[in-house]
Amino acid sequence: MGQLQFKDIYLGKIDAYNEFLEFGQEICANVFFEYPNLDINRIINGFVYYICGDKGTGKTMLLKYLEARVQQNSEPTFTSFIRFKRDIDDEERSQIKRTSLSEQNHEEVIEKGLPADFSDNCILAWEVYLIKLIVCRLRHTEYGVFSRDDQTWKELNALLLAIYNDDIEKTGVVHRILPKVKKGNVDVNIGKIGKLDVELEWFDQSKKAASFRSVAKKIIDLYSKLQPTENKLYILFDELELSLKRTKNYERDIILIRDLIFAIQYISEISRENGFGVYIIAAIRNEVYKKFQSKGMEINKSIHDFGIQLSWQQHGGNINNHPLLRMLEKRIQYSEIRAGLTLTENIWQEYFVQSMDSGKKDIRNYIIDQTWSKPRDIIRMFTAIQSIKGDKNYADQETFEVIRKHYSEESWAEFEEALTAIYSDKEVEGIRHALTGITIPFELKDFIAQIDGKAEVFDEVEVLKKGSHKPAQILRDLYDLGIIGNYGKVPRFVFKGDRDIDPLSPLTIHYPLIRYFRASFRKFDT
């Protein structure tokens, strides 16, 4: 039996950002599992700009860990953590907790988007925002990254103050991506520039407005001429994801994020060429990257050359070395250390039954099979054990059976949220009804029969049937999310690296969701 009850084991939270808010930087850094194929130093040293991965693979956790690592440096290091939030209403935004600010740490939430006339190409706008962000983070400090006595630094500050008006002076930050832009021109407070030599393309002789392009080019030019000093600044972008629901912002977000990715590359290139200690790192969801590819956007080279892919898959090898299992082990061992206990030598022997399903499957393989190869799944599963069987210190088969329903319901809730980026709420509910009670393995014709049969009973299925999405496309979308896979001796799932659905092979539902949909197994003749 294990030394700790499951309720006393530190597991963290489903959302890594919330985990850092509640438990703090030190604890989260201690339990962070450094995936062996991930070179943290390449990111810290500025060779990697983009961290790519599916939802729940640990992008936020990695960013927060990087933030903790760089702040442990003996020399002062400045950080700014940016959350790309675009579709959070006022009530939700008010619930966002902020960590306490320190001189070396700042956090910001982007609240307002770009004006409509910048929707086609907003790389310049993002470059201005990034430079504004860098300057705002440093302008109230006495030292670090750039020389404060340099004339170029003074001109850059003055120009930013002139277009963002008093916002920077009052708060030190600006939540807006851009200053007020109208018909391609930006208002300029000439009084802030004074006698500084800042030449712009003025809209009229009164010099109250100038073309945004000329202002942006000047800001970028001034930034490239700054004088570097010691110390470093890290800008960490999180939650680069598309808006939920099929809103007008969905397609616009694709362009916004695409151009932000290019802007990060361009500003990073300026920094590297000039020896600036400025590093910009962004976490990007794979679904966003795939959306770029589907629209023919030339972004592959940037992601390939300056990005890494977070993946927790293990192809072959010893199951004991599976990174998800090692992550769980590390959290259990950390909990034992916190409790002042001697470390358990064999976690799997002391805390877990050795096999499941009448000895047919090793417990470690069983746990992995219940996931979508993501850390979030492990945390969700064992959080369920904590809430339902928290007083136990040994997980037997009954423990996993009891939490299966709860785990599958929470997993489906997350998939529902993802589906709303493609389907309406009613259509998502229609998909749920169509899958409920289906017999597996099934084929396209079986899924169509489910839709046709239930459309007479459920309005949501009727809406799904009459919608623009054909059943074959719905199955493709379900496959891409990992809800279904191809049936076979070795099932094919997207999270196992099988990128595309095989339309000629029968289909199945991923194991954790089979009970949720009350699916039955087809009986075959011998």
Return the higher-pLDDT residue of 522 and 57.
57
Q: What is the mean pLDDT of residues 4-11?
A: 94
DSSP 36-56: TT--HHHHHTTS--EEEE-TT
Per-residue confidence (pLDDT) for residue 245, from 0 to 100: 54
Distance separating alpha carbons of residues 284 and 412, to the nearest angstrom: 23
pLDDT tier, 396 (very low <50, low <70, confident <90, very high otherwise): very high
Cis before 115 (ω within 30): no
Mean pLDDT, the chain, whole residue set: 84
Q: What is the mean pLDDT of residues 399-411?
A: 95
Q: Return the closest-CA partner of residue 139 out of 80, 191, 198, 98.
A: 80
Strand pairing report for 278-285 and 50-53: parallel
Distance separating alpha carbons of residues 4 and 6, to the nearest angstrom: 6
Per-residue confidence (pLDDT) for residue 424, from 0 to 100: 93
Per-residue confidence (pLDDT) for residue 232, from 0 to 100: 93
Q: Is the pLDDT of residue 201 over 80?
A: no
Return the higher-pLDDT residue of 72 and 166.
72
Q: What is the mean pLDDT of residues 457-471?
A: 96
Per-residue confidence (pLDDT) for residue 156, from 0 to 100: 92
Q: Is the pLDDT of residue 104 over 50?
A: no
Per-residue confidence (pLDDT) for residue 298, from 0 to 100: 67
Q: So where are the chain's domains? A: 36-142+223-309, 319-413, 422-521
Of the ranges 288-292, 307-311, 396-400, the best mean pLDDT one: 396-400
pLDDT tier, 466 (very low <50, low <70, confident <90, very high otherwise): very high
Per-residue confidence (pLDDT) for residue 295, from 0 to 100: 52
pLDDT tier, 416 (very low <50, low <70, confident <90, very high otherwise): very high
Distance separating alpha carbons of residues 185 and 216, to the nearest angstrom: 11
For the chain, the first-to-last Cα distance in angstroms comes to: 43
Per-residue confidence (pLDDT) for residue 92, from 0 to 100: 30
Q: How far is CA 28 from CA 43, 63, 82, in A?
A: 19, 12, 19
Q: What is the pLDDT of residues 295-345, one digit of tens each?
A: 555 677 888 889 999 889 887 788 989 999 999 999 999 999 999 999 999
CATH assignment, 36-142+223-309: 3.40.50
Q: Of 23-27, 150-154, 298-302, 351-355, which range is least confident?
A: 298-302
Q: Return the closest-CA partner of residue 118 out of 204, 212, 187, 188.
A: 212
Return the higher-pLDDT residue of 475 and 39.
475
Q: Is the pLDDT of residue 75 over 80?
A: no
- The β-bridge partners of 233 are 78, 278
Per-residue confidence (pLDDT) for residue 96, from 0 to 100: 24
Do the beta carbons of residue 146 and residue 138 sit within 8 Å? Answer: yes
Q: What is the pLDDT of residues 119-131, one digit of tens each?
A: 456 788 889 989 9
Per-residue confidence (pLDDT) for residue 86, from 0 to 100: 46
pLDDT > 70 in the chain, percent: 84
Q: Of 16-25, 198-207, 253-262, which range is least confident?
A: 198-207
Q: What is the mean pLDDT of residues 165-192?
A: 67
Distance separating alpha carbons of residues 402 and 239, to the nearest angstrom: 34
Q: Who contacts 29 (Cβ-Cβ below 8 Å, separation ≥6)?
A: 65, 68, 69
Per-residue confidence (pLDDT) for residue 19, from 0 to 100: 83
Task: Give me the phi and psi of 283, to 5 degrees please.
Answer: -95, 125
Per-residue confidence (pLDDT) for residue 85, from 0 to 100: 59
Q: What is the pLDDT of residues 358-371, one digit of tens each?
A: 778 999 999 999 99
pTM reported for the whole predicted model: 0.83
Distance separating alpha carbons of residues 257 and 241, to the nearest angstrom: 8
Q: Of 1-10, 117-126, 486-495, which range is least confident?
A: 117-126
Q: What is the pLDDT of residues 12-57, one digit of tens each?
A: 888 888 888 788 878 888 888 877 678 899 999 999 999 998 888 8
Q: Of 49-58, 80-89, 94-103, which range is least confident?
A: 94-103
pLDDT tier, 90 (very low <50, low <70, confident <90, very high otherwise): very low
